[in-house]
Structure 1
């Protein structure tokens, strides 16, 4: 391991540890960045027996877990343990595999086997080079749909895609927070997402694509939707200001797809409400 690799590893580990709670979207973006750094470290290591590799694989597995790539997380974690055991056997000084691995990896393997078994292909085994795959497609595929969708800002497809994107953000964040045992953060993040979804539910109904309840589950409170209806223009204006000054989605979107999509819909809704084209009754 070269001094430069040691430095890069230290930076990447610190980046992961400082953001692994995923309490906001900036931290999610930093986990993506950390994963890229660990992959770069792995690729730069020409000696595949280097003692740094078990830890690199451990953190690659942890990052993939945070980004909901559970199958790859599992097999990279298993590979990290295998590499750690090999390093221990080849060492005349160290007899404890734990010294070669990040301790979180054992808890990760247990978590994946117990709670994500349906997302893992236990038959395939580790595949050479898969640790170098950077895959944020579960979120980004939805964002591409927003970017590539038709020119009709208030089309049925655009509204539905944006709702799906926000639901995916919520789903992933909830998994992260719950894994950390932080129910309060999961709740607060969900409340923030709901705030941006209410206008989309309202647009779905006002432009006659269906009913706002099409996207609600049994037991969901109607109070946030009713509150939005009672002061729609005021709330839309506040959301637009927030998106324009400090969008909470910046670090998770490509080319500002989500922020631009929401701004276009919110602005058009205000214009149509003021002109009387649509009316909240």
Structure 2
């Protein structure tokens, strides 16, 4: 997808490839799916519910939600990455036809959906990829499409804690010869939201109450290749996007060495702090 006026200057959506989409589903997608399952424990997903999955990726979580809402529920997944939507549509099994659908779409533009269309909205690993302005637009839109008494579930990297994937990246990109291509280390990086900022934003956009907690766990990754696949695919190609091809391999090799502090008995254990929030209309 070409970058538009609404796309964050630091993030490009048109770098995604079929390979990155497949790698995402095999690595980061599975990890984010596990986070999504934790979030679902906080949400009233019942048969017959109408649910919007914003930033659904390749549809792993949306398909599971649809299995809980079937047969009379409705689950719609939207994502700005068309290659991931293509993979998501393959998850519409015969028993989910009529319940589950996937569409290309931006979080901050839900104009295709009518007022008070959904009981629940879900945003799993989405908020960090939006600018502050887009976060505000998104929550206003979510408030509009939720039914009275509905809720928004939010999960993702906590802005109250370090993100080791991007701490390692920043240390490498600050060095020669890479720093000339990254005058601002925020280029291509997620903008993780803090709990205080999320509470403030939810109030500003009309929501009545927020419940927030943090989930601590170690992300277990077996090989250095998988570490790189998770970093590049979860950022849909933005992890080292500003570097010329001749520097990409060297930079990624240095980043892998930066993860050696998390190596344990032949695998990696990377600490992850996830923000889990339920925001009520």
TM-score (norm 1): 0.27
Structure number having the greater helix percentage = 1
- Which structure: larger Rg? 1
Structure number having the greater strand percentage = 2
1 or 2 for the larger relative contact order (CA 8 Å, sep ≥6)?
Answer: 2
TM-score (norm 2): 0.27
